[in-house]
Structures are given as C-alpha cells and as structure tokens.
Amino acid sequence: MPKVNPAILRWARETAGLDEQEAVEKLSIRDARGVAAVDRLRALEDGSDPPSRALLVRMAKKYRRPLLTFYLTSPPEPTDRGEDFRVLPRGAPPEDEPLLDALIRDVRARQGLIKSALLDEEELEPLPFVGSVTMQTGVQAVIDSMRAVIRLPLEEYRGCHDVDEAFALLRTRTEEAGVFVLLLGNLGSHHTNIDLETFRGFALADESVPFLVINDQDHHAAWSFTLLHELAHLWLGQTGVSGGRPELAVERFCNEVASEFLLPAGELEEFVGVGRLAVTDVAQRIGDFASPRKISHSMVAPIKGGKEREGGPSYYVVRRHRLGTALVEATARLMAVGALTTSKAGTVLGA
C-alpha cells in the first residue's frame, strides 16, 4: 500500500478551515504517553508519526476529502468555483467557505458521472441556449429567450396554488429543457448548513449537462427567484457562485432578469404613495400583492418570512425533492442500460 503524504494531512486540515485545536477535537485525538494532543497532530503532519487507517478514515470524513486524496503526491488544485460573483459582507462566516468548496466538488462529481454516462450512450448533445447571450443583449431579450426555451408564460406560473407549486412548475420546465436543478444547502446534515450570505446558488454552465444549485436554507418563496437568477448565468455561459450583496454588474443584471421575469416593473405602479400608509397597512398591501403573483414579500419590501411548519414528508420524499426529478430519472435510466454502476449512481444521488 502506498504511503500517506504528510504534507496533504496539513493541507486537508487547513482547507477544511480547522486550526490545530479544532482538528484534534473533531478527530478525537487525545493526550497520550505524556504528549499533548496538538503535538501528536503535528507529528502526523510532519511525517514523524504515520496515521492509523482508522484515523485516516476519520480525517477523510471530518476534512471532507476522499480517502484517496491522502495518498496523492501533492495537494490537488483548488476547487474550481468558476467565477465568484459574491461580495460578502463583513462578518460572513469564514468557516462556511470550506463547506461551499466541498459542496461544489460534490456537485461537479455528480455532473461528471452523468456526462460520462450520457457520452457512453451517445446521448450527449449541446444545448444552444448555454452562453447564447451577453449583458449587452438586454434584460427583456434574455427573458424572452428564457420563456421560449422553458415554455412558461407568466400567467401559468401565477395560476399555481402557492409558491411551492409555482416553483415546482418552474423547476419542471427548466429540467425538461435539459438543466438539472438541485436543492442543496449542506453536506448531508444540518451541522453543515451553509449560510445564505456564503451562497444562495451556483451555476455549472456546461454546454450539454448544466447544473443549477439552490441553497435550500432560504425561504421557499425565494427559490424561484434564485433559480431564474442562476438560469440567467447559464444563458450568459457563466459558471460561478452567487451570494452576499449583488454589487457586481453581472449580479445586478441577473437579478433584473429574475425580477422582471416574475414581476414586470409596470405592476409596481400601484405602490405609488404607499409610504404614506401605516406600517401594518403597508404589510397587508404587500401580502395581497405578492401572494397571487407567487413571489416572496422581499421582492416588494424586506419583510421576514415565518417559520416552516412542523412535521412534513418522509426522508426519501425530501431527498428526491432536493435532487430533482431530472437527476433521479436520468440516473435510473442510465443504470438500467448499464452506463452507470450502482456505486456511481450512489455518488450522483448522494446516497
């Protein structure tokens, strides 16, 4: 068996956002034989004390790296996020950055397996809308192109019963156009929830197998907006992460596309003079305005949403919902024809 590269042990810890004390606690390394736990970790990282197999497995889990990584000759290249469209506010949680990198690596791996399987089955075809526009194309022209591809008139979207049903319709039409839409806001447990300031969504603008990821920690009413924002990035041909403050020109552009798609600017004219009303009356007006349009209150004014209801569907229903019908059905079909093994299918589905 090849030897573990001790330089990678330190690299893996640091890229996981852990200092030495945090690492020994997570790895359950204790003081032993008169040697402090931190010193034992340093001995592992300088190569003077090789790690046991059990400890390596714990490192792989806590550092969120495949076990094979520790046997590489040198640390791998940094996670390719594409473009970073974020302008993070002061105080944004730095510990979420390694979680975001791990999530992007995970989604890229799923995308790679699906793309490889489709290529083997000779089903890989380019999607002409990916990278088909620039910001100079203009907001309305981009919206017209998006509507033509996903076949979703505004009236049909607003005809849904509530925001969840409206999002489901938007997601279905987007997936039917060839885009995989995932709802992921952590690495599989609430202990790894990623703050909305760190990311609200990201797009992997592959010309044949594009993926969109929405941070499901956000309120349900905001999911449609984020999906459309990331879809605008696909139309621009941009792979990257969105979150924080929309200060960059491209983020403002994608926000305008999403906003105008869901709420044409002319409809806001009825709010002229609303500032003269009492706060409670304004809140009522916003609710009455937003609900039939299946948009979040924050698109009209910054009003905080309520808590999610208790209870809910089973784990398996939730998991399927997070992955999306397109990814689940594509995985099942590619397994059936032998293009995906069960282990690779498990990676795609995160199971």
pLDDT (tens digit per residue) in 95-151: 788 888 888 988 988 898 899 999 999 999 999 999 999 999 999 999 999 999 999
13 and 95 share one domain: no
Cα 266 from Cα 77, distance rounded (Å): 48
Q: In this structure, what are the phi and psi dihedrals at residue 9, rounded to the nearest 5 degrees? A: -60, -45
Instruction: Tell me which of 50-54, 325-329, 340-344 is least confident.
Output: 340-344
Comparison of pLDDT for 153 and 5, the residue scoring more: 153
Residue 78 lies in a domain: no
More confident residue, 196 or 316: 196
Q: What is the pLDDT of residue 86?
A: 85
The reply to whether 60 and 131 lie within a common domain is: no
- Enumerate the H helices of 46-129 as residue ranges: 53-62, 96-120
Percent of the chain with pLDDT over 70: 86
Residues 131 and 168 in one domain: yes
- Separation between Cα atoms, residue 125 and residue 109, nearest integer Å: 19
Question: Which residue is associated with the tokens 């996903």?
Answer: 150
What is the model's pLDDT at position 243? Answer: 86
**Cα 150 to chain centroid, rounded:** 21
**Does residue 199 share a domain with residue 89?**
yes
Give residue 53's domain range.
6-71
Would you state the pLDDT for residue 230? 96
Helix (H) or strand (E) holding 201: strand 201-204
Residues in the chain: 351
Sign of the dihedral through C-alpha 35, 36, 41, 45: negative
* Residues contacting 63, CB < 8 A, separation 6+: 12, 13, 15, 16, 18
Inside any domain, residue 303: yes
Report phi then psi at 234, rounded to 5.
-65, -45
Identify the band that residue 197 occupies on the pLDDT scale cut at 50, 70 and 90.
confident
pLDDT at 281: 65
Average pLDDT of the chain to the nearest whole number: 84
Burial class for 327, CB neighbours closer than 10 Å (0-12, 13-18, 19+):
buried
H/E run at residue 320: helix 315-323
What are 310's two structure tokens?
A: 């208790």
Buried b (16+ CB within 10 A) or exposed e, 62-91: bbbbeeebbeeeeeeeeeebebebbebeee
Query: CB neighbours (10 Å) of residue 282?
Result: 17
**Residue 5: other Cβ atoms inside 10 A:** 18
Q: What's residue 274's pLDDT? A: 57
Residue 184 resides in a domain: yes
Look at the chain and report how many structural domains it folds into. Answer: 2
In this prediction, residue 269 carries a pLDDT of 66
pLDDT for residue 97: 84
Q: At residue 273, does pLDDT exceed 60?
A: no
Q: Is pLDDT larger for residue 329 or for residue 168?
A: 168
Residue 267: DSSP 8-state: G
199 plus 288 within the same structural domain: yes
Q: Are residues 241 and 308 in the same domain?
A: yes
Regarding whether 250 and 143 lie in a shared domain, the answer is yes
| pLDDT score for 335 | 77
CA distance 15 to 269: 49
Question: 126 and 38 share a domain?
Answer: no
Query: 284-325, pLDDT tens digit by residue?
Result: 767 777 778 888 766 665 433 333 444 455 555 666 777 888
253: tokens are 């552009």
- Residue found under tokens 């000759």: 73
Highest mean pLDDT, choosing among 1-15, 60-74, 75-89, 249-263 = 249-263
Under the banding of pLDDT at 50, 70 and 90, the label for residue 233 is very high
Regarding whether 161 and 15 lie in a shared domain, the answer is no
| pLDDT score of 308 | 40
Give the model's pLDDT for residue 289: 76
- pLDDT at residue number 310: 45
165, 171 contact by CB (below 8 A): no
Q: Which of the four pLDDT bands, split at 50, 70 and 90, describes residue 226? A: very high
Residue labelled with tokens 């990821």: 213
Confidence at 79, pLDDT banded by 50, 70, 90: low
Q: What are phi and psi of 241, to 5 degrees?
A: -110, 135
Whether 347 has a pLDDT exceeding 90, the answer reads no
Q: Which of 340, 280, 274 is nearest to 109 (CA)?
A: 340
Q: Average pLDDT of 200-207? A: 94
Please, are residues 234 and 205 in contact by the beta-carbon 8 Å criterion? yes
Rounded Cα distance between 345 and 329, Å, is: 11
> Has residue 258 got a pLDDT over 70?
yes
Of all residues in the chain, the percent with pLDDT exceeding 90 is 46
User: Beta strand 201-204 with 240-242: parallel, antiparallel or unpaired?
Assistant: antiparallel
In a domain, 213, yes or no: yes
